[in-house]
Amino acid sequence: MKKETALLLFLGLVSPSRLPAAEFRFVPSIGVSEDVTDNVNETASGRRAEMATRVQPGGSLKYEASWSTLEAVYNLDYRYYALKNVKGGISHTLGLQGAFTFVEDFLKLDLSDTFSRISLDVARDNTAESLSLDQTDQNTLSVSPYLLWRLGPKGTLKTGVRYGDIRYWSPLGIDRREEGAFAQLSHELTPRLSLTTGYVFNKTMTQPLRYDDHDLSAGLRYEYADKSFIFGSIGNSWLAFSNGKGVSNYFWDAGVINDFGLVVATLETQVRYTEDPLAVSLRQKSHSLKLEKVMPRATLSLSAVYNEYADTSTGAESRQGTTIGLGASSELSPSLTASLNVAGDRLSRRSSIDYPYHLAATGSLGYAMKNEATLGFTYTYATYRYRPDEGKGSIDVNRIVLQLRKAF
């Protein structure tokens, strides 16, 4: 094929006539904060206070055209510890989302990459309480080209391939690479009722084990009243591990969202495979209830979640836990906002030194100043206990963060 012909075909896919409508925006920012805690290592005895000075330069980027959208957010976090009870360092946070369309809304490409700090314990996230304890950096990359077939005015068939790569910056983390294909058929039977069926194949490679995964599922979504839905999907997953073990499991996601006027209630039950930095494959079963009240200048929420975690490759049930959360946020004035979040959980113990009970409460104030500057104050109290009514041997942490952030 001549170079001129190849160039004409490429220009037909990416029509340059669309480019003048593109929008590009880049907003740099910088934050400076003081982070003070009275128990930096989260220990029951030998508590050590620490004061961290943090400098966080970053920025956000947005590119939008008729054939593509691209959004990215990046922040660098430099930490200097004044009392030297913790070693200083630098961490990074990156969020990237891209969607591209070629061949007249037929050939598409989704791209995402996330780099962030996560908790090593998937059942109990402590990243809001500590800067580094039992945590690791994680990078998750996903690339998915696909074809979108229009099956009449109310049906679509989505077929494509997907590549994923997950890396951890901890020797305990289990890196994984995924390659697979998928097909999803969606059909709108009525304006209120839609059906979906799907098939997914994944080949996953980790250092301990490799496995193939075949998933087949079907589901529906029905809007029975204004802002009220019932939804459900069910399927089966067949996993074949490289050690010769085969596993077959049901998975589902079903629930109801009902707007009572006074409050919106969401009831959901779900079984899915979830990412765990310490497991080759983890199966999570959850049942949740959430009540939310949205007012003109405030929001209230109450939630309860029960989780079970099981190692898919061995079938062993690893953790069970219940979490109850309360949240409130309010716009006190056009420039001042406040929020309060309280969450308590109880987890099954893996050893005699594990703390089954955990409570964390966070209150914050945010003040918007002129010239895209914001001032924030956050106080967090966290406690880990063997019994909810007994403080003996408990871990208690108080943390205060004062931050000034400026966007340019």
- Give me the tens of pLDDT residue by residue for the chain, a chain 408 residues long: 444 443 333 334 444 444 446 899 999 999 999 999 999 999 999 999 999 999 999 999 999 998 999 999 999 999 999 999 988 889 999 999 999 999 888 999 999 999 999 999 998 888 877 877 789 999 999 999 999 999 999 999 999 999 999 999 999 999 999 999 999 999 999 999 999 999 999 999 998 899 999 999 999 999 999 989 999 999 999 999 999 999 999 999 999 999 999 999 999 999 999 999 999 999 999 999 999 999 999 999 999 999 999 998 777 767 899 999 999 999 999 999 999 999 999 999 888 888 999 999 999 999 999 889 999 999 999 999 999 988 899 999 999 999 999 999
- In a domain, residue 369? The reply is no
| H or E, element range at 233 | strand 228-241
Please report the sign of the dihedral spanned by the C-alpha atoms of residue 78, residue 84, residue 85, residue 86: positive
Is residue 183 in a domain? yes
**How many domains does the chain contain in total?**
1
Residues in the chain: 408
388, part of any domain: no
pTM for the structure as a whole? 0.86
* CA nearest to 199, candidates 161, 173, 225, 231: 161
Cα separation values, 83 from 34, 80, 88, 166, 395, Å: 13, 9, 11, 35, 21
Question: Looking at the domain assignment, is residue 58 inside a domain?
Answer: yes
Answer whether residue 250 is part of any domain: yes
Residue 149 lies in a domain: yes
- Domain of 154, CATH number, reads 2.40.170.20
Q: Is 345 inside a domain boundary?
A: no
Would you say 403 and 379 are in contact if contact means Cβ atoms under 8 Å apart? Answer: no
- Write out the residue range of the structural domain in which residue 44 sits: 23-309
Residue 244 included in any domain: yes
The two three-digit tokens of residue 349, written as one number? 């113990």
Q: Kind of pairing, strands 246-259 and 395-407?
A: unpaired
